[in-house]
Chains A and B, each alone.
Chain A
Amino acid sequence: MIQTFFNVEIIAAAWPIVLSGLLNTVLLSLIVVPLGLFGGLILALLASVKSPWVRWPLMAWVDFFRAFPPLVLLILLFAGLPFAGLELGGFACVAIAFFLNTGSYYGEIFRAGIESVPQGQVEAGRSTGLSRLQAMGYIVLPQAVRNVLPDLLSNTLEVVKLTSLGSVVAVPELLYQARQAQSLTYNPTPIVVAAVIYFLMLWPLVRLLSRLENRALAGRR
């Protein structure tokens, strides 16, 4: 049993491949998380514009990309864009798909955060001469982010997990590399190693999230 699922020799042999996958997963996360946060922030700021010419297209955009399965979106980009004359490669396709998908999720979280800040906060700022944008940046956003920190972290956790979708379009991230190693060694051990790495990487974040959620609950009491 141990020989099959946790073979030490195979771990040693597959380690360099799995490690390069881990590095790519970290790199991918470091790209798609800030990209998603940035996209989400833009969407949330646009959502505070009252004009129906902004509001309706924005709502359609967010709904569409939240309803669209990210795996389907990714494959569509990867398989479809070359026909439009755009050869972007797997990495770029993952970045774009995540920007569209997780940006919409982050956007809704930021929007909820912004709406949780009482209107009186903005009025106090505006009454001292701050512009709309200054009031947003110095008064509303810091409070908004603090109010939705658990949700932001929770979504970030999902995003990091979803980077494994990159394996479908041959991005050599952790899961993809583990599968490569598995097919080279005819042994499932590399997949087990990848699973353990995913767990070790995300578990501290999950702990942190629980603590934040408990604190938020305590604060509400």
Chain B
Amino acid sequence: MTPQPIVDARAIHKHFGALHVLKGVDLKVAERELVFVIGPSGSGKSTLLRCLNRLEEPSSGSIVVDGIDMLDPRTDINHARQRIGMVFQSFNLYPHMTALGNVTLALRKVAGKSRAEADALGHAALERVGLADRAEHTPGQLSGGQQQRVAIARSIALEPRVMLFDEPTSALDPELVGSVLAVMRSLRESGMTMIVVSHEMGFARNAADRVVFMDDGLIVEQGPPAAIFETPAHERTRAFIGQIQRH
């Protein structure tokens, strides 16, 4: 791993009332690395992801992303978040805007681009996800897979340094999963740093640099995909992998 990780989260704790969801998680991610986070539901993996761009406020710990202290109250969080793309399970496209409108909103209102500049960047981003011809469609006119690709375009248009994927294919019909994974693969090939919470084990196996297994608010073990999938060191990891692969 490079000496200066682009994501450096240390001792992250998160409480929801009496519920202790994250119990001291450390996660370092190197530039251009693709890290897969797996684990049973309720293990805290999505919460960890959402803490990284502060959609959830960690109860304690420290998070530095691309040299910016995310938890420092003096940090301009809206500025910092432009560098951290996020893709959600339910796409969360704005239904009252076209695909291009979805992609250009933050370009215009946060990055301060003119409409013409934003439109050009928006079209380029849609082209990268293979949807150049869908710019004027509204989300309701697009399939789930296309919507998720628009959501990815919305993030990459801002040229983030890191991309967070929160179960990006879980809401998709099986035949649409491939198109989204293909876009993620091409992003990876372009050198994007990615943290992916997902159960797409096939994708993890041949695209991830590292797989992190979480259970009960802690990282149980991590390593190269082959090691985690073939020879897990912990019983809990073995049980989880076994369950997933039986399906």
Contact = CB atoms under 8 A, between A and B. Distances in A.
Nearest to A120: B92
Nearest to B102: A124
A167 B156 CA distance: 61
B239 interface: no
Given A129-B106, A130-B78, A131-B78, A123 B55 contact: yes
A154 interface: no
B88 A120 contact: yes
Size category of the binding interface on chain B: 20 to 34
A7 interface: no
Contact of A143 (B84, B96, B109, B158): B96
A127 B151 CA distance: 12
Interface string B76-106: 0011111011101010111110000000011
A199 interface: no
Contact of B55 (A126, A130, A138, A143): A126
A134 interface: yes
B155 interface: yes
Interface residues of A, number: 18
Contacts of B105: 125, 128, 130, 138-139
B53 interface: yes
Nearest to B160: A128
Contacts of B149: none
Contact of A126 (B81, B95, B151, B155): B81
A211 to B, nearest CB: 20
Nearest to B93: A124
Contacts of A124: 86, 88, 92-94, 151, 154
A134 B109 contact: yes
Q: Is the interface of A mostly helix, strand, loop or mixed?
A: helix
A130 B105 CA distance: 9
A127 B86 contact: yes
A129 B92 contact: no
Given A120-B90, A123-B55, A138-B105, A129 B79 contact: yes
Contacts of A142: 96
Given A134-B109, A143-B95, A143-B96, A128 B88 contact: no
B110 interface: yes
Contacts of A134: 109-110
A146 interface: yes
Contacts of A123: 55, 86, 88, 92
Contacts of A129: 78-82, 106, 110-111, 158
Given A123-B55, A124-B88, A130 B106 contact: yes
Contacts of A139: 94, 105
Interface string A181-199: 0000000000000000000
Contacts of B106: 125, 128-130
Nearest to B106: A128
A143 B97 CA distance: 10
Interface in A118-157: 118, 120-121, 123-131, 134, 138-139, 142-143, 146
18 contacts: A118-B90, A118-B92, A121-B94, A123-B88, A124-B86, A126-B55, A128-B105, A128-B110, A128-B154, A129-B79, A129-B82, A129-B110, A129-B111, A130-B78, A130-B109, A134-B109, A139-B105, A142-B96
Given A124-B151, A128-B110, 20 more contacts: A118-B90, A118-B92, A120-B88, A120-B90, A124-B93, A125-B94, A125-B106, A126-B81, A127-B53, A127-B55, A127-B81, A127-B155, A128-B106, A128-B155, A129-B78, A129-B81, A130-B109, A131-B78, A138-B105, A146-B96
* CB-based closest 5 A-B pairs: A128-B106, A124-B92, A129-B110, A127-B86, A120-B92
Interface of A: 118, 120-121, 123-131, 134, 138-139, 142-143, 146
